């Protein structure tokens, strides 16, 4: 890109930013209004004194434990289902699975159709956020645990399928071709020839998504599921900022713990 | 197994890799495929085992056209052919045992596949051990493939093809990475097995002496065309040298 085109682009981006600000009615003065400042000061001030005793004098520990357990459970259950969705769809969406079969036109057409359909389904699953899925299933199932699990599993399954199938498409094809030459079926070729070549990449991405699922699972609490987010929003609505911070720190600790765990696993297996 | 190419051509975007090749290989024949780099040896072997589609002409295996088979028949046909790719086609992250076991995928249902991969039966392990003994690396049974030398990996690929119990063996430069004495031993093994089990054997290699000594028939490829196709006793060293001559004007 030459310098004058770069300048045009920068100018355009600046104008677009200003335009958006006007359209949204952004007013920088709201940031420094006394009332706003007081709320901000209260809230962030409380971050230095999180509490383990609730306003009514009871211990917060039972709520912390149940929140933690629910957050981890929803994330784990949602991810388990997402891995099933992700594995199945990423197989169908991998461009190589039918391509290697050198049989007739009919099978090639069938393969291309199935792959295109799988990719469309993946896009649909991903394009709706887990909070929206949760609201949808809340309407259908009510505040049942299945609401949270499915709401997580659908978008996470779609994302896993998309990224996994891209990783698999990039995998070296020589082992897969050798297995096809030995008469392997598409599923065998996929499992024995492609997946082992990139297993470490698939696993590390899965782990990363699990960390994301923990955060999403916590956020689902804002809709009333019993995860950490539920306690965060409850205490926040009651202006009990010190309790809010306790739950936020617990959530932070949970994410860090998973991060450490995955890095230990990574080291042990010699992953990059 | 009987192979037949009828006016077969393979065109890649930039090059005609095989140009109107016709040949037939009878069941139980042992043929060496020779020719300089880029002559089309890999492409020709690919046509015969169904990994490459001809852009023109037909490929017949046991008198049936490969391109017209159902997926099931194609798999069954490919199961009967052992193939040793030039790049080995191994899974470096898996053990030797699993790589050799993969030779039988075509005969396994999903449960058998899983079992071979995770916990192969004692009989399977014994059989794989025997196969590895024949290629001289039985002590590597439980090693990860990426810890082996290039020559050892090549022998794993040969073992996988043998373990498949095929009716024909197609090997693409199966001795490119081993020392001369091991090269003789490996090709000798393929040739002996072919005679013993009445396999059709097609091996691409560059060694004149070995080719003449162990194969009754030589096919010389150059620039996608068959330069000679004759009993090895009729292929003189000068014909062979001509084939590899860099500045020979193609007739
Ligand atoms: N997948 C491909 N796409 C494009 N061109 C190809 C492809 N495979 C082979 N070719 C070209 O076709 C020609 C024949 O290649 P081939 O691999 O069959 O030669 P070869 O005789 O096996 O050579 P070598 O001894 O180096 O293995 C070469 O010019 C090569 O560049
Ligand atoms: Mg080659």
Helix (H, G, I), strand (E, B) or coil at B170: strand
- Can you give the residue ranges of every domain in chain B? 1-80+168-251, 88-165
Q: What is the average per-residue pLDDT within B30-44? A: 95
Q: What's the sign of the alpha-carbon dihedral B106, B108, B111, B112? A: negative
| Strand-strand pairing, B3-12 and B15-25 | antiparallel
Q: Tell me the domains of chain A and their CATH numbers.
A: 65-269 (1.10.3720.10)
A196 with B91: Cβ contact below 8 A: yes
Pairing between β-strand B200-204 and β-strand B225-231 as defined by DSSP bridges: unpaired
Instruction: Identify from B49, B72, B75 which residue to disrupt to test chain A contact, counting A C-beta atoms within 10 A and taking the largest count.
Output: B75
Q: Cβ contact (<8 Å) for A184 and B90?
A: no
Per the structure block, which two tokens stand in for B146?
């990426």
> Which of A227-241, A258-272, B138-152 shows the lowest per-residue confidence on average (mean pLDDT)?
A258-272
**A92-146 pLDDT tens trace:** 998 766 655 555 667 778 888 888 999 999 999 999 999 999 999 999 988 888 9
- Least Cα distance to A64 among A267, A235, A215 occurs for A235
Residues A170-216 have pLDDT tens digits of 999 899 999 988 988 888 999 899 999 999 899 989 988 998 999 99
Of A5-14, B6-15, B23-32, where does mean pLDDT reach its minimum? A5-14
What is the Cα B178 distance to its own chain's centre? 16
Q: First and final CA of chain A: distance in angstroms? A: 34
Range B1-80+168-251 classified under CATH 3.50.40.10: no
B205 contacts B175 by C-beta, under 8 angstroms: yes
Ligand 2 center to A10 CA (angstroms): 52
What residue in B sits closest to A200 (Cα-Cα)? B93
B40 Cβ closer than 6 Å to some ligand 1 atom: yes
Cβ(B42) to ligand 1 under 6 A?
A: yes
Long-range contacts of A121-128 (CB under 8 A, 24+ apart): A121/A89, A121/A158, A122/A89, A122/A93, A122/A158, A122/A161, A122/A162, A122/A165, A123/A158, A124/A158, A125/A85, A125/A154, A125/A155, A125/A157, A125/A158, A125/A161, A126/A155, A126/A158, A126/A159, A126/A162, A128/A154, A128/A155
- Mean pLDDT score, A17-40: 86
- Percent of chain A scoring above 70 in pLDDT: 94
A198 touches A238 (CB < 8 A): no
B85 touches chain A (CB under 8 A): yes
B41 lines ligand 1 (CB under 6 A): yes
All residues of chain A having their beta carbon less than 8 Å from the beta carbon of residue B174 are none
Structure tokens at A204: 């590390």
User: Does residue B220 line the site of ligand 1, with CB under 6 A?
Assistant: no
Report the residue of A96, A97, A101, A102 to disrupt the B interface, i.e. the one with the largest count of B CBs within 10 Å.
Answer: A102
Residue B74 pLDDT level (bands cut at 50, 70, 90): confident
Among B49, B105, B107, select the one facing A192 at the smallest CB separation: B105
Nearest CB among A101, A177, A187 relative to B71 is that of: A101
Search chain B and give the residue with CA nearest A171: B91
**Residue B5: both structure tokens together:** 């190419």
- Cβ contact, residue pair B75, A183, below 8 Å: yes
Q: What is the mean pLDDT of the segment spanning A57-71?
A: 91
Neighbours of ion ligand 2 (CB under 5 A): B 41-42, 86
Beta strands in chain B (DSSP E): 3-12, 15-25, 30-34, 56-61, 64-65, 81-84, 168-172, 200-204, 217-222, 225-231
Residue owning the nearest CA to atom 27 of ligand 1? B37
**Mean pLDDT confidence for A49-57:** 85
Helix (H) or strand (E) holding B240: helix B237-244
Structure tokens at A72: 């981890």
The reply to whether residue B110 touches residue A196, judged by beta carbons under 8 angstroms, is no
pLDDT at A69: 94
CB pairs below 8 Å between A and B: how many?
99
Residues of B in contact with A181 (CB under 8 A): 49-51, 78, 81, 83, 85, 89
Q: Is the pTM of this model over 0.90?
A: no
Output the CA B205–ligand 2 centroid distance in Å. 9
How many residues does the structure list for chain B? 251
Q: Is B39 in the pocket of ligand 1 (CB under 6 A)?
A: yes
What the block records as the tokens of B45 is: 């072997």
Task: Return mean pLDDT, chain B.
Answer: 91
Give me the pLDDT at residue A98, please.
67
> Which residues, numbered 12 to 71 in chain B, qualify as contacts with chain A under a Cβ-Cβ cut-off of 8 Å?
49-53, 66-71
């Amino acid at each position: 890109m030459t310098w004058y085109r770069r300048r045009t682009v920068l100018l355009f981006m600046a104008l677009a930013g200003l335009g958006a600000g006007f359209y949204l009615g952004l007013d920088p003065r709201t940031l420094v209004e006394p009332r706003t400042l007081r709320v901000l000061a209260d809230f962030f001030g409380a971050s230095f004194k999180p509490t383990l005793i609730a306003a009514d004098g009871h211990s917060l520990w039972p709520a912390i434990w149940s929140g933690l357990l629910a957050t981890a459970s929803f994330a784990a259950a949602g991810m388990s289902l997402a891995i099933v969705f992700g594995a199945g769809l990423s197989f169908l969406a991998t461009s190589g699975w039918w391509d290697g079969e050198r049989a007739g036109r009919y099978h090639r057409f069938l393969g291309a159709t199935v792959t295109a359909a799988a990719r469309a389904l993946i896009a649909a699953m991903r394009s709706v956020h887990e909070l929206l899925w949760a609201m949808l299933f809340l309407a259908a199932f009510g505040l049942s645990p299945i609401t949270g699990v499915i709401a997580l599993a659908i978008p996470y399954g779609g994302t896993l399928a998309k990224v996994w199938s891209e990783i698999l498409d990039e995998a070296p094809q020589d082992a897969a071709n050798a297995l096809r030459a030995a008469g392997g079926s598409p599923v065998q070729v996929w499992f024995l020839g492609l997946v082992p070549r990139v297993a470490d990449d698939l696993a590390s991405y899965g782990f990363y998504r699990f960390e994301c699922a923990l955060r999403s699972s916590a956020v689902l609490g804002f809709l009333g599921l019993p995860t950490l987010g539920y306690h965060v929003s409850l205490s926040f609505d009651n202006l009990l900022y010190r309790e809010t911070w306790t739950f936020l720190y617990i959530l932070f600790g949970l994410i860090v713990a998973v991060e450490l765990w995955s890095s230990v696993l990574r080291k042990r297996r010699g992953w990059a | 197994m009987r192979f037949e190419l009828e006016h077969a051509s393979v065109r890649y975007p930039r090059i005609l890799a095989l140009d109107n090749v016709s040949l037939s290989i009878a069941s139980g024949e042992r043929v060496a495929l020779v020719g300089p780099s880029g002559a089309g040896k890999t492409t020709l072997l690919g046509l015969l085992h169904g990994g490459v589609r001809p852009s023109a002409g037909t490929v017949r295996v046991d008198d049936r056209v490969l391109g017209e088979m159902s997926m099931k028949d194609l798999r069954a046909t490919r199961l009967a052919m052992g193939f040793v790719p030039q790049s080995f086609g191994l899974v470096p992250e898996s053990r030797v045992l699993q790589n050799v076991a993969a030779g039988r995928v075509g005969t396994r249902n999903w449960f058998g596949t899983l079992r071979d991969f995770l916990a192969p039966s004692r009989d399977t392990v014994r059989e794989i051990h025997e196969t590895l003994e024949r290629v001289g690396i039985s002590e590597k049974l439980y090693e990860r493939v990426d810890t082996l030398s290039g020559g050892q990996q090549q022998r794993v690929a040969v073992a996988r093809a043998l373990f498949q119990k095929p009716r024909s063996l197609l090997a693409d430069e199966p001795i490119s990475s081993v020392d001369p004495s091991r090269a003789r031993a490996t090709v000798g093994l393929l040739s002996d097995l072919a005679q013993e089990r009445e396999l059709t054997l097609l091996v691409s290699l560059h060694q004149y002496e070995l080719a003449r000594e162990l194969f009754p028939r030589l096919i010389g490829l150059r620039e996608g065309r068959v330069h000679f196709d004759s009993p090895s006793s009729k292929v003189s060293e000068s014909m062979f040298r001509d084939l590899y001559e860099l500045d020979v004007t193609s007739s």
